[in-house]
Amino acid sequence: MTTLSNPGPAPRVARAWNRGRRGSAASGSSRAAWRLATPLLLAALPLALFFAFFHASTLDIGNPGWLIRASDNGENALGAHAYWHDPNAGASLRTGLLNAPDGVPVLYTDSNPLLTLAAKPFARALPADAQLIGPFVLFSLFLQAVFAWLLLRRRAPGPVALWVGVALLAFPPTLFNRFIHVNLMAHWTILAALYLFLDAKRGERMRWWVPLIAITALIHSYLLVMVGAIWASVMLVRLLDGGPRTRIATLVQGTAMLALVALLAWWLGVGGQIAARNFGFYSMPLDALWNPGIQTYSNLLPAHEPTPARYFEGFQYLGAGGLALIATAIAVAGALPAAAGEDVVRQRLRRLVPALLVLGILAITRMQLPVFLQVGLDPVRASGRLFWPIGYVMVFVALLSVYRLSAERAALLLVAVLALQVADLSNMAAAIRLQSAEADRHRLYVRTLDPRWAPLIASAGSIAFIPGDVTKDLGLFQEVAWRAVKAGRPVGNVYAARGSRATIRRLTAERAAFGRGELVPGRLYVVGPTVTVPAGAAGRRLTLDGTTVVVPMAVRTAVANDAKMPVAASRPAPL
């Protein structure tokens, strides 16, 4: 007879089974909770990082003043401002209100062609002084988190390891260093390309690659080169592994994609610009992975910056946490075997090595090249940027190695790595955040405060800066041009990423004509401090906020008598 004190093996097994059921139920409940938390975390991570690096006022679309302070982002905003206010721009992706009468593609004002075009139909609904740069940064951070999550969600051993991995992969220091050129903060295009490359089914289908390539081309040419290299790797794999029919189809699809890119380049206004011929000047330093370059960017590692231009454009610092992650991943990879799923990913990534090698060589090359190569490589002259996909692959592979650990150990390790990264980069966040502090003041103009600026610009038929190089006082140019564009007055100058020979000839001729006293009727001239006003125009000279201007003949008497100035037609007048 069985006694109560000795339940026997069957009840013990039953109790163990019941505990397993309760554990399984608890585990299932935990997984459900994490699934519910996923959208919140995908929103919370980008928001937290955005507010750590930028002021909230940058999200106010009616607050562009913080941008037009002699910055490249100011030219970005100005180009979009001109395109939205140009009644003749249509879908041309160029505006005639800047660099008039030649006009300029918004691509070369460092504006975001995709965003500028998408907002054009709603231009009348936007504030007269609108900017979408702050919102674009936040949008890019959201997409960074989404694609990092897609890359890691099926590979992490547990939810904590997953989300800390997302933070480390999605938000490297190189991303935030691009605050000065926010279009280049669209690193999510690189992560999206990696995701497609690793997805055997989607990666084989052009219906996924075509929109990604097109969207990337309409954001920035450097990102297009990087995403294009990853897409080309897919094409190469198909050519090497596929049968005759697959190879023919691949060649047809590749040709069609190149034709699409050529068509987009034509639409964007590429062609006819003068090459800078300085490829390699902005290359990546060999110590960039562990050298912050800028002293304020790291709290833990020393910065060495012998050539500042290279250490900004070639900035590839991983952060102390990122370096610790790489070192730990190497140790883990040497101690633990890879799981079957990881092996598949690594084998796929090996097919990406040729593209990454080409990008890496271009990124570090710093030598005197023949002229034809300098011209051919001009579209990627800031070549240090081309290392970005390699940096993302390094972090991704390191995370895969750490994910060989148990969920608990991987979580503890990655939390420690993230804490180290935050401790190292907190000063970088503060330094970058300081750059947008002006947004909290909500001031549009700081250089053109004289009340006469508005009526003078409104009364002019056009505006020109003498000399034509506006980079000598970019802040003044951006404010005057902003006022002129809003009034529908064409400006004969622009700060463009690339110039054309026709524009250079025109500006040279205009400077010579001004020196001879041959002024264009109805034109308001903004004169630089080193330029002498012709004797015949001395009576039309005014000083506004310390800046010399020569007003149109029609308003000279009105200004002298403090009378109401005549206002030109509301549409831009032909030059």
Whether 102 and 227 map to the same domain: the answer is no
Whether 143 and 129 map to the same domain: the answer is no
34 inside domain: no
Per the DSSP assignment, residues forming a β-bridge with 105 are 94
4 inside domain: no
- Look up tokens 């040279």; give the residue: 508
- Determine the straight-line distance between the first and last CA of the chain, rounded to whole angstroms: 112
107 inside domain: yes
Tallying the residues shown for the chain, one arrives at 575
Q: Which amino acid is at 376?
A: G
Whether 282 and 212 map to the same domain: the answer is yes
Whether 535 and 548 map to the same domain: the answer is yes
**Degrees, nearest 5: CA angle 25-28-30:** 110
What is the structure's pLDDT at 18?
Answer: 42
DSSP string, 352-413: THHHHHHHHHHHH--S---HHHHHHTGGG-SGGGGGHHHHHHHHHHHHHHHTTS-HHHHHHH
Whether 405 and 509 map to the same domain: the answer is no
Whole-angstrom distance, CA of residue 448 vs CA of residue 225 = 40
Q: Which amino acid is at 370?
A: P
| Eight-state DSSP code of residue 547 | E
| Eight-state DSSP code of residue 183 | G
Whether 405 and 492 map to the same domain: the answer is no
304 inside domain: yes
With contact defined as beta carbons under 8 Å apart, do 254 and 216 qualify? no
Q: Is the dihedral of CA 463, 466, 467, 469 positive or negative?
A: negative
Which of 134, 156, 184 is at the close of a domain?
Answer: 134
What is the structure's pLDDT at 7?
Answer: 45
Query: Minimal CA–CA distance to 129: which of 456, 479, 452?
Result: 479
56 inside domain: no
Whether 329 and 209 map to the same domain: the answer is yes
Which of 85, 110, 134 is at the close of a domain?
Answer: 134
Whole-angstrom distance, CA of residue 220 vs CA of residue 201 = 27
Whole-angstrom distance, CA of residue 61 vs CA of residue 49 = 20
Whether 261 and 321 map to the same domain: the answer is yes
Query: Minimal CA–CA distance to 490: which of 498, 481, 499?
Result: 481
Residue by residue, pLDDT tens for the chain (575 residues) are 444 444 444 444 344 334 443 444 456 677 778 788 999 999 999 999 999 999 999 999 999 999 999 999 999 999 999 999 999 999 999 999 999 999 999 999 999 999 999 999 999 999 999 999 999 999 999 999 999 999 999 999 999 999 999 999 999 999 999 999 999 999 999 999 999 999 988 988 899 999 999 999 999 999 999 999 999 999 999 999 989 999 999 999 999 999 999 999 999 999 888 888 878 888 999 999 999 998 899 999 999 877 766 778 889 999 999 999 999 999 999 999 998 889 999 999 999 999 999 999 999 988 778 887 888 888 888 999 999 999 999 999 999 999 999 999 999 999 999 999 999 999 999 999 999 999 999 999 999 999 999 999 999 999 999 999 999 999 999 999 999 999 999 999 999 998 899 999 999 999 999 999 999 999 999 999 999 999 999 999 999 999 999 999 877 655 544 545 554 444 333 33
Alpha-carbon distances, residue 112 vs 54, 150, 162 (angstroms): 19, 26, 32
| Enclosing domain of residue 469 | 453-560
3-state helix, strand, coil in the chain (%, to 5): 65, 5, 35
Whether 216 and 339 map to the same domain: the answer is yes
Strands (E), 214-340: none
- Look up tokens 């041009």; give the residue: 481
Total structural domains within the chain: 3
Which of 111, 134, 157 is at the close of a domain?
Answer: 134
Query: Minimal CA–CA distance to 524: which of 565, 564, 496, 474?
Result: 565
Whether 282 and 232 map to the same domain: the answer is yes
20 inside domain: no
What is the gyration radius of the CA atoms in the chain, in angstroms? 29
177 inside domain: yes
**Token pair for 527:** 């004169």
With contact defined as beta carbons under 8 Å apart, do 288 and 317 qualify? yes
Whole-angstrom distance, CA of residue 63 vs CA of residue 56 = 11
14 inside domain: no
Whole-angstrom distance, CA of residue 474 vs CA of residue 495 = 8
What is the structure's pLDDT at 426?
Answer: 97
| Eight-state DSSP code of residue 273 | B
Q: How many CA atoms lie within 13 A of 464 on its CB side?
A: 25
Whether 150 and 200 map to the same domain: the answer is yes
Whether 499 and 513 map to the same domain: the answer is yes
Alpha-carbon distances, residue 363 vs 331, 339, 351, 385 (angstroms): 28, 33, 20, 7
Kindly report whether the global pTM for this prediction surpasses the value 0.85. yes
With contact defined as beta carbons under 8 Å apart, do 155 and 403 qualify? yes
